[in-house]
Amino acid sequence: MEQLPYSEKVMDHFMNPRNVGEIPDASGIGTVGNPVCGDVMKMFLKIENNVIVDAKFKTFGCGAAISTSSMVTEMVKGKTIEEALKISNKAVAEALGGLPPIKMHCSVLAEEALRSALKDYYKRQGKEVPFEIEEHKHEH
């Protein structure tokens, strides 16, 4: 098996993932999955006064899937919902020092998990969801 060229940051977030676990009283929970490669991400957000005060995740997947989940939870803490919605998969990959092209779909999953959790938050608040969740094709 050939070694994929992972950055030190990717390896760090894989070996020492941040924010693993669940938030029992989460404001929003999002679950996304890619049945083709078996990656499943579940994201929990705690939102107070429009600000994401905590974020945790549970990911079943490859190292890149775990790393991107870990990084996105770090990126959203302390951000407003509007700021969090601007976080793209490319931003997640860049924050990790880049991902091999074959693993970019993991950063897409992380973005989708975040948006899915925010969508759940809006639904629980009885508010209209003010954004679209793009359905990406997952290449493998």
Q: Exactly one of 106, 109, 114, 117 is catalytic; which is it?
A: 106
Q: Exactly one of 11, 20, 37, 40 is catalytic; which is it?
A: 37
Beta-carbon count within 10 A of 76 CB: 25
State CA 123 to chain mean position distance. 19
Any catalytic annotation for residue 62?
no
3-state secondary structure of 47: strand
Whether 39 contacts 61, CB under 8 Å: yes
- In whole angstroms, what is the distance from residue 117 CA to residue 92 CA? 17
Active-site residue numbers?
A: 37, 106
